[in-house]
Amino acid sequence: MRKLLRFMKGYRGRALAAPLFKLLEASMELCVPLIVRAIIDRGIHDNDRPFIVKMTLLLILFGVVGYGFALCAQYFAAKVATEFTGRVRYALFDHIQSLSYADTDKLGTATLITRMTSDTNQVQSGVNLFLRLLLRSPFIVFGALIMAFSVDVQGALVFAVIIPLLCLVVFGIMLITIPLYKKVQTRLDAVLSKTREHLAGVRVLRAFCKEKEENEKFRSRHEALTKEQLLVGRISALMNPITYVMINLALLVLIYVGALRVDQGLLTQGSVIALYNYMSQILVELIKMANLIITLTKSIACGNRVQSVFEIPNSMADGTVTEGIEGAPAVEFRNVSFRYAGAAAETVSNISFKLMPGESLGIIGGTGSGKSTVVSLLSRYYDATEGEVLIDGVPVKDWRLTSLRHRIGDVPQKAVLFSGTVRDNLLWGDKNATDEDLRNALRTAQAESFINEKPEGLLAPVTAGGTNFSGGQRQRLTIARALVGSPSILILDDSASALDYATDASLRKAIADIPNHPSRVIVSQRTVSIADCTQILVLDDGVPVGLGTHEELLKTCEEYREIYRSQNDDSENGGAA
């Protein structure tokens, strides 16, 4: 948590102003019992009405001025807390974006979302209360102790005994609850992960009638979270009643001792009231401090979780190269193998091929054969565990990532659109593209027709995830987005799976006729989609079993022949039916 304080740079003046104004307010509050004592001992005792009026006006003045100090403290504390947390969120988001796929795979999406939202909100609350109360409450407690000794030494001994005992209770409970709050947040991650999984796959759950089973799994995780929350809640809840009991016992002793000393003429009635008020102030402030400690405990646990993300180094170091070697292959794999972190076996093994500029490579194979992994290595979302991947003759590890990604137009397997407009989404490919560039990309991607049908055209709204478009429309829009940037390498990762054969054929022809003739890497389950490629890579359980043209593979690769025959037989049977 301490390491997050680096984001406080530039706010130190305002961060100091908040507790300073709180201390000024507290000073006003500490003077109130002395004024009340003077009213009782002099004004009421001597029936001095002008003095009573004067002291009453002084009390009102102290109240107004103290209120002004409190408002200033609230303003500075809230401003510092929100701006500090904003910096943390921006930096956290930026750091997460810099992490490789392998790094984010280890953490998981659910925990990253929790740390970006719930945890940072808790840190914000902690900073706000820290600036307002952490100095004020101890100042009032020890200030009241000192003022009590100035009123009556013997009566103030009660304060000297009770305050250390109260501090022992407060800090003891804090030390117990800090590790428990960490467990609560971990359980919350698990619940959010299951919730996200259920919401994303709700149609599948209903299709297989798994609602009851998944509800039981969710309930078990939620019950574990509830159990942890109840445990830490019960321990935290002990703080208020214990401190109340201790303070009220101290008040009883104080009143009893005060009464005896008043009866003996050693203490005035106003002094007893002043001591009582100081004890009441201590009670209120310790209750505030108890609640503050609970909030700070949560904030520290959440802040440590946020900091733990910052401490994850990017396992993928950025390169320095911005230009490729002229005449070199656009893409080259040299004996490339890759294994996901924690996996028992390699996902792809010993893959080698060359793709020259303007040529096309088709990748085909069964489900889980490693097709998407190959293109992930090409875009350097992951680093190969063995071998070398080269783009334009330069190893991908040596490329500056921004330069590498600008050369590659990547259309992922899952079509992802973002809320906004069609134009907003297409400009992701090139923020400086003109409307004519966008329409050319839509035309090539076979998306112009359904966009023109919308009254808003390029300004047609897109909901989060593009759910207001069909699957095929989303795929064509993501293809158009990749084409806007005029990439030298275009990756189509099974991105035409939702298109009919006629639209797929028109799309492939339009892409082949693009003026800048990008090299194309096409992942597909359909042999017809890759039959015209310069070369085709056939994968079987991550191992390359064939590389050549469509005609060559039909003669030499049994796996490719089986895929081709099964699809042609299915097509013929479907047509006969």
Write down the pLDDT at residue 355: 93
Same domain, 433 and 572: yes
Residues in contact with 247: Cβ distance below 8 Å, sequence separation at least 6, in sequence order: 162, 166, 279, 282, 283, 286
The answer to the question of residue 294 being in a domain is: yes
Q: What spatial distance separates the first Cα and last Cα of the chain, rounded to whole Å?
A: 67
Same domain, 436 and 289: no
pTM of the entire predicted model: 0.68
Which has the minimum average pLDDT: 197-201, 209-213, 388-392?
Answer: 197-201
Q: Give the whole-number percent of the chain exceeding pLDDT 90.
A: 27
pLDDT greater than 70 at residue 538: yes
Write down the pLDDT at residue 241: 83
The answer to the question of residue 318 being in a domain is: no
* Residue 575 pLDDT class (50, 70, 90 cuts): very low
The answer to the question of residue 191 being in a domain is: yes
Predicted confidence (pLDDT) per residue in 487-497, tens digit: 999 999 888 88
pLDDT greater than 60 at residue 97: yes
Residues 446 and 525 sit within 8 Å (Cβ to Cβ) = no
From CA 364, how far away is CA 525, in angstroms rounded? 6
DSSP-assigned states of every residue in 372-414: HHHHHHHTTSS--SEEEEEETTEEGGGB-HHHHHHHEEEE-SS
- How many domains does the structure of the chain reveal? 2
Predicted confidence (pLDDT) per residue in 66-79, tens digit: 899 989 999 999 99
DSSP-assigned states of every residue in 202-249: HHHHHHTT-HHHHHHHHHHHHHHHHHHHHHHHHHHHTHHHHHHHHHHH
Same domain, 401 and 335: yes
Write down the pLDDT at residue 336: 94
Average pLDDT over all residues of the chain: 85
pLDDT greater than 70 at residue 460: yes
Q: Which two tokens stand for residue 433?
A: 């593209």
Residue 505: give its domain's CATH number: 3.40.50.300
Residues 536 and 374 sit within 8 Å (Cβ to Cβ) = no
Write down the pLDDT at residue 137: 81
Distances from the Cα of 122 to the Cαs of 82, 127, 238, 277, in angstroms? Answer: 11, 9, 22, 34
Query: Where does a domain end: 257, 279, 310?
Result: 310
pLDDT greater than 70 at residue 260: yes
Which has the minimum average pLDDT: 17-31, 268-282, 316-330, 392-406?
Answer: 268-282
Same domain, 32 and 104: yes
Same domain, 205 and 56: yes
The answer to the question of residue 544 being in a domain is: yes
Burial (CB < 10 A; 0-12, 13-18, 19+), residue 555, is: exposed
Same domain, 225 and 358: no
pLDDT greater than 90 at residue 30: no
- Phi, then psi, of 184 in degrees rounded to 5: -60, -45
pLDDT greater than 90 at residue 544: yes
pLDDT greater than 70 at residue 534: yes
pLDDT greater than 70 at residue 574: no
* Residue 416 pLDDT class (50, 70, 90 cuts): confident
Residue 228: give its domain's CATH number: 1.20.1560.10
Q: Which two tokens stand for residue 374?
A: 């190959």
pLDDT greater than 80 at residue 91: yes
Write down the pLDDT at residue 480: 93
Same domain, 456 and 502: yes
The answer to the question of residue 326 being in a domain is: no
Same domain, 288 and 360: no
Same domain, 569 and 465: yes
Query: Where does a domain end: 241, 275, 310?
Result: 310
Query: Where does a domain end: 254, 281, 310?
Result: 310
* Residue 547 pLDDT class (50, 70, 90 cuts): very high
The answer to the question of residue 323 being in a domain is: no
**Number of C-alpha atoms within 13 angstroms, CB side, residue 418?**
7
The answer to the question of residue 8 being in a domain is: yes
pLDDT greater than 60 at residue 572: no
- The alpha helices in 400-458, defined as continuous H runs, are 401-407, 422-426, 435-444, 448-452
Same domain, 348 and 293: no
Q: Which two tokens stand for residue 467?
A: 């759910």
From CA 30, how far away is CA 288, in angstroms rounded? 16
Predicted confidence (pLDDT) per residue in 466-515, tens digit: 888 988 999 999 999 999 988 999 999 888 888 888 888 898 899 988 88
Decide which of 534 and 147 is more confident.
534
Write down the pLDDT at residue 154: 76
- The alpha helices in 39-48, defined as continuous H runs, are none
Same domain, 263 and 372: no
The answer to the question of residue 320 being in a domain is: no
pLDDT greater than 60 at residue 576: no
In 10 A of CB 53, how many CB atoms?
Answer: 11
Write down the pLDDT at residue 571: 46
Q: What crossing angle do the helices spanning 471-484 and 435-444 adopt, rounded to 10°?
A: 130
* Residue 287 pLDDT class (50, 70, 90 cuts): confident
pLDDT greater than 70 at residue 351: yes
Write down the pLDDT at residue 1: 61
Predicted confidence (pLDDT) per residue in 310-347, tens digit: 888 877 788 888 898 988 999 999 999 998 877 778 89
Structural domain boundaries, residue 434: 331-576
Residues in contact with 541: Cβ distance below 8 Å, sequence separation at least 6, in sequence order: 366, 368, 369, 370
pLDDT greater than 90 at residue 551: yes
Same domain, 400 and 474: yes
pLDDT greater than 80 at residue 350: yes
